[in-house]
Amino acid sequence: MKKQLVTATLIACVSLSTLGTPLPHQTNVLAATTTIQNNQSAVEAKADQLIQTAKSLIGKATYSNTEYKPTYPYKFSCASFLMYIFEKNGVDLATYNEDYMMQQGTYVARNQLQKGDLLFFSSKGTKIPDHVAMYIGDNKVIQMADPTQKIVITDLDSKPYYKDSYITARRVLPSLLPSNPATTEDNIVSLSYDLKDKVTMGTVNDEKSKKFTAGGFVNYVYKQNGVTVGTTNLQEQMKLGTTVSRANLKKGDLVFFSNAIGSKTPGLVAIYAGDHRIIIPNSNGILTRVLFVDYYDQRYITAKRVVNEKNASIAVSPTVNVSSANQLVNFASTLIGKAKFGYVYEEKSLTFTPAGFTYYVYKQQGIDLKSKIASQQGQIGKAVQKTNLQKGDLLLFSTDQKRTNITQTGIYIGGNQFISLSNSGPVLKESLNSDWAQKNYVSARRVL
């Protein structure tokens, strides 16, 4: 726990035990990525809203570094006080830790302060802050000071503390606001925030009742903004789009984390909200955090950009080349009555396993599936939802009715039909509504 300030009567902020384990200072700071600057009038209007909310809490809140109570009678530390007033006005700092707040936004010189800027102080003479306040103009700040003063407005020249303990100031307006006009990425983030208290997280996906898995929530939010993710499976989502480095994250990117340190299997997905903030759908609801937190820092796997910057938004699963798809299906159909099942791959006699059959058919159209093993073919191309199938898509099935292990493949030929080489011998056309297909369908890949 941080010690009491040695000057004045202010008490240093500490992480709140009711909001999580205290978070240590980290020196591995990511490069800040901010949105397009908003016009100054929008920034000033937002700053005035923040100040009005902060002032309205004077006399209504008490100081607490162990409890956060966002309803009357309010209880705040210096940092959670600011987190609260920003969140109430649609700006998510995503942290109650003043050290992490200091790594958001952009640097601003002390002689250039504007309303809404955050000022950071340290009673220990270090660069690690233990107090934060908000500038409100006229050389004044508003702050949750200590148990005696509580929320007060203070002139920065009133005590030596404000000069001697000053570290820096950060301008989080407009960098934490949407661009003007809002981009597709802004709208994705805004919708995610809007749904925080409106969705139920669980093991099913039902858009009508707003019940989602983590992957289902991502799929829904992006779809509402014209971006087709095409799958609710985290492993499939992690294969989409373009890989981006952690230092180059931009709003709207998907960020993936494992459940165990060192694992490359995604257990969490987050929507990057800009300025190190992430929106995480999980069993506890829709959470907002910063990437500095040890848990996410240690379990970070990768990030994917699934929104096209030039065209604002595109479907992640690309449209099939119709001509190539027709040629593929026509060629596969010519093999009915000719190709046969066998535990070999022999083009001369047209003897194949089911996956060998699809490997051969796609090969004749210049497409390399890389493997004659069904499960490995499931790693090629882009994931596509069953409701978005197009002619030429590669279909993946199990054969044990458990719909888990991929052991057989087929080719979608349109009209809810597919063609495949069966384990019983012949090449068949079959409906996806058949009893076998419904019990064994796993997923689909777009490879054209």
pLDDT at position 167 is 97
In the predicted structure, residue 311 carries a pLDDT above the cut 70: no
More confident residue, 423 or 256: 256
- Identify the three-state secondary structure at position 343: coil
Whether 131 and 137 have beta carbons less than 8 Å apart is answered as: no
**The overall pTM is greater than 0.85:** no
45-59, 159-173, 318-332: least confidently modelled range: 318-332
pLDDT at position 12 is 53
Map tokens 């597919």 to a residue. Answer: 418
In Å, how far from its chain's centre is CA 120? 29
How much is the mean pLDDT over the chain?
87
In Å, how far from its chain's centre is CA 141? 34
pLDDT in tens, 219-272: 999 999 989 888 899 999 999 989 999 999 999 999 999 999 999 999 999 999
Model confidence band, residue 415 (pLDDT cutoffs 50, 70, 90):
confident
pLDDT at position 381 is 86
Phi, psi of 74 (to 5 degrees): -65, 150
In the predicted structure, residue 383 carries a pLDDT above the cut 70: yes
Q: What is the mean pLDDT of residues 173-186?
A: 85
| Alpha-carbon gap, residue 262 to 127, rounded angstroms | 31
Burial code (b: 16+ CB inside 10 Å, e: under 16) for 134-150 equals bbbeeebbbbbbbeeeb
In the predicted structure, residue 314 carries a pLDDT above the cut 90: no
Question: Which of 177-186, 204-213, 315-324 ranks highest by mean pLDDT?
Answer: 204-213
Closest to 228 (Cα-Cα) out of 105, 315, 122, 345: 315
Query: Running DSSP on this structure, what letter comes out for residue 32?
Result: P
Model confidence band, residue 28 (pLDDT cutoffs 50, 70, 90):
very low
State the first-to-last Cα distance of the chain, in angstroms, to the nearest integer. 58
Amino acid at 192: S
pLDDT at position 403 is 83
**CB within 8 Å of 21: residues ≥ 6 apart:** 15
In the predicted structure, residue 369 carries a pLDDT above the cut 70: yes
pLDDT at position 244 is 93
pLDDT at position 321 is 65
- Please state, in angstroms and as integers, the Cα–Cα distance from residue 368 to each residue in 315, 324, 364, 396, following that order: 23, 14, 9, 16
Tokens in use for 333?
A: 């159909």
| Alpha-carbon gap, residue 402 to 165, rounded angstroms | 63
- Rg (alpha carbons) of the chain, rounded to whole number: 28
Tokens in use for 381?
A: 């191309």
- Provide, rounded to the nearest whole percent, the portion of the chain with pLDDT above 90: 72
pLDDT at position 10 is 52
| Alpha-carbon gap, residue 368 to 344, rounded angstroms | 18
pLDDT in tens, 4-17: 333 334 545 554 53
Helix crossing, 78-88 with 40-56: angle to 10°? Answer: 120
In the predicted structure, residue 437 carries a pLDDT above the cut 90: yes
In the predicted structure, residue 360 carries a pLDDT above the cut 90: yes
Whether 1 and 65 have beta carbons less than 8 Å apart is answered as: yes
pLDDT at position 133 is 98
| Cα angle, residue 10 at apex, residues 6 and 15 outer, rounded to 5° | 100
Whether 250 and 274 have beta carbons less than 8 Å apart is answered as: yes
Map tokens 């958001």 to a residue. Answer: 104
In the predicted structure, residue 130 carries a pLDDT above the cut 50: yes
pLDDT at position 402 is 85
Residue ranges and CATH numbers for the domains of the chain are 17-171 (3.90.1720.10), 184-305 (3.90.1720.10), 322-446 (3.90.1720.10)
pLDDT at position 316 is 44
Query: Running DSSP on this structure, what letter comes out for residue 181?
Result: S
In the predicted structure, residue 205 carries a pLDDT above the cut 50: yes
CB neighbours (10 Å) of residue 227?
Answer: 23
pLDDT at position 424 is 80
**CA quadruple 377, 379, 383, 386: dihedral positive or negative?**
positive
Whether 222 and 279 have beta carbons less than 8 Å apart is answered as: no
pLDDT in tens, 109-125: 999 999 999 999 998 88
Total residues found in the chain within this entry: 448
pLDDT in tens, 257-297: 999 999 999 999 999 999 999 999 998 899 999 999 999 99
Strands 408-414 and 254-258, bridge-based pairing: unpaired
